[in-house]
A and B are shown apart, each in its own frame.
Chain A
Amino acid sequence: MPTPLIDNVCGEHIFSKIYQRLSKDLHDFIYYKFGPNFHPEDKVQEAFVTLWKKCHEVPPEKAKSFLFTIINNLSLNDAKHQKVVLKYQKTPVKSETHITPEFIIEEKQYLEQYKIALEKLPEGQRVAFLLNRAEGKKHKEIAAMLGISKKAVEKRIYTALKTLKKELSDFNI
């Protein structure tokens, strides 16, 4: 078997490249899984500090699964004590021409209900669903990121969508 040219991630160049490629995904993964209260940014930094300390033991192709495992474990320690709380942006995305006060109230309620439904979703489903809908990632990308099959990703997203639909069936916006 040929020896790979680079067998660890200690080089500044390769380390920086890994950071550029994975840091946002790691951040989003933690954000969608545990919510903003878990300080996803800090968790990303912590995970990369760990990678740096162990850089001799990690070949580049293992860096992704190493980082995802580390960041997941880091957050799980906190997760025992906290409930997932999500946040939504205040600015509504769509622009309606005739906005009635009733509509605004109803939309607010809808958003609240949506938030609760999202928070109640199983972590795996929420992560896949929001990576897909909010981040616009394709199933294949999500599968690669989470280390699961494309079929599993599809199932998670579809189930999440079905649950949300059911939870929000009272609203008719």
Chain B
Amino acid sequence: MKEENLISKWLDHDLTAEKLEAFKKLDAFRTLNQLSETAKQFKAPAFNTTNNYARLKGKLASEKKAKSVSLWKPLLAVAAVIAVCLSLYFTLFYTSEELFIAQNGEQIQLVLPDASTVELNAGSRISYSERDWQENRALRLEGEAFFKVEKGQKFTVKTAQGLVAVLGTQFHVKQRADYFEVACYEGLVAVTYQGKTQSLPAGGLFRVINGVFEMNIVSVEEPLWLHGSTRFESVPVIEALAEIERQFDIKITTEGFDTTAVYTGTISHKDLSEAIDAIAIPLGLEVFISEKSVTLKK
């Protein structure tokens, strides 16, 4: 038998007594045997199966107990989720309150249950109760919107500053922090501001800026923002800048000039630098445009 074969048989503990003698006569025997014998000194410590199994059973029993207690945890979690869902349902849907938001940089159009339409300008929100709509055509507006109201019951727009009530008409409401504007394009609108009601005929403009009230006439048939630009007639320049912030979803900072200066002009919603120039050039401002912000300096 060849040496290699003998060694491999020996390694598999598979040598007959006779072959073992042959293996022992090999030159390599002494070294191999020494290596093999030394390996025995690295033998793993005895593993006491019986004792260890008893230990394991004790451990499993305690785990089981812990488990039966923790069974309540998922139940509690489910109960909590149900409670949250119910409260959400009641606050949001039970009153069937509909909410629409136009984020900065977007305009949305929506149709009310009576087929009246609303164009919602950037950075504005509108909410109304769908369930009560038949009896009471009323909605709440924060921001700026253009309404085409179908004929019918009184239609009311509530804002933080004032109330606009109409029967059937087209009108535009702009409500911002220190700014409230209603323009009537068709029919007749009743504007209630600080307890006083003012009727506004077609072509009429009602405006309050920083508490100063004025009446004017509208020069266009529809608000320009429906067609991608905004017309400003003698407004503080800060209002025009705020509008750019909403339309382009950017941040504008101003330095070294009076932001209450009166501005008249038209701002495009299509191109930011064009819109900025429409303000910066007449006022003689320096412009610094970066990715999400614009700085204007005198």
Q: Which residues of A contact B44 (CB under 8 A)?
A: 27-28, 31-32, 36, 40, 130, 134-135
Tell me the bound Cα distance from A92 to B41 in angstroms: 7
Count of chain B residues near A, Cβ 8 A: 28
Contact between chains at B52 and A88 (CB < 8 Å) = no
Q: Digit string of A134-173 for contact with B (CB within 8 Å is 1, else 0)?
A: 1110110000000000000010011001001100100001
Contact between chains at B14 and A138 (CB < 8 Å) = yes
Contact between chains at B55 and A45 (CB < 8 Å) = yes
B39 on the A face (CB < 8 A): yes
Residue from B14, B42, B53 in contact with A86 in the complex, judged by beta carbons closer than 8 Å: B42
Chain B, residue nearest A137 (CB): B13
Q: Which residues of B contact A53 (CB under 8 A)?
A: 63
Chain A, residue nearest B67 (CB): A53
CB contacts between A and B, total, < 8 Å? 97
Residue from B13, B31, B39, B53 in contact with A129 in the complex, judged by beta carbons closer than 8 Å: B39
Q: Which residues of B contact A129 (CB under 8 A)?
A: 39
B47 on the A face (CB < 8 A): yes
A133 on the B face (CB < 8 A): yes
Residue from B8, B39, B47 in contact with A133 in the complex, judged by beta carbons closer than 8 Å: B39
In the complex, chain A residues 19-51 whose Cβ is within 8 Å of any chain B Cβ: 19-20, 23-24, 27-28, 31-32, 36, 40-41, 44-45, 48-49
Contact between chains at B56 and A19 (CB < 8 Å) = yes
With A154-B11, A158-B8 in contact, do A48 and B56 touch (Cβ < 8 Å)? yes
In the complex, chain A residues 64-90 whose Cβ is within 8 Å of any chain B Cβ: 86-89
Tell me the bound Cα distance from A21 to B47 in angstroms: 12
A111 on the B face (CB < 8 A): yes
B60 on the A face (CB < 8 A): yes
Residue from B37, B42, B49 in contact with A118 in the complex, judged by beta carbons closer than 8 Å: B42
Q: Which residues of B contact A24 (CB under 8 A)?
A: 47, 49
B292 on the A face (CB < 8 A): no
Q: Is the interface of B mostly helix, strand, loop or mixed?
A: helix
Q: Which residues of B contact A44 (CB under 8 A)?
A: 47, 52
B253 on the A face (CB < 8 A): no
With A93-B41, A138-B12 in contact, do A133 and B36 touch (Cβ < 8 Å)? yes
Contact between chains at B60 and A49 (CB < 8 Å) = yes
A132 on the B face (CB < 8 A): yes
Q: Which residues of A contact B52 (CB under 8 A)?
A: 23, 41, 44-45
Q: Digit string of B4-29 for contact with A (CB within 8 Å is 1, else 0)?
A: 00001001111000000000000000
Q: Which residues of A contact B49 (CB under 8 A)?
A: 19-20, 23-24
Contact between chains at A49 and B14 (CB < 8 Å) = no
Q: Which residues of B contact A88 (CB under 8 A)?
A: 41-42
Q: Which residues of A contact B13 (CB under 8 A)?
A: 132, 136, 138
Contact between chains at B31 and A165 (CB < 8 Å) = yes
Closest 10 A-B residue pairs measured CB to CB? A133-B39, A31-B44, A134-B43, A88-B41, A27-B47, A24-B47, A139-B12, A28-B44, A89-B41, A134-B39
Q: List 16 A-B contacts (CB under 8 A).
A: A24-B47, A31-B45, A32-B44, A40-B44, A45-B55, A45-B59, A49-B60, A87-B42, A88-B41, A129-B39, A132-B13, A133-B40, A134-B42, A138-B12, A154-B11, A164-B35
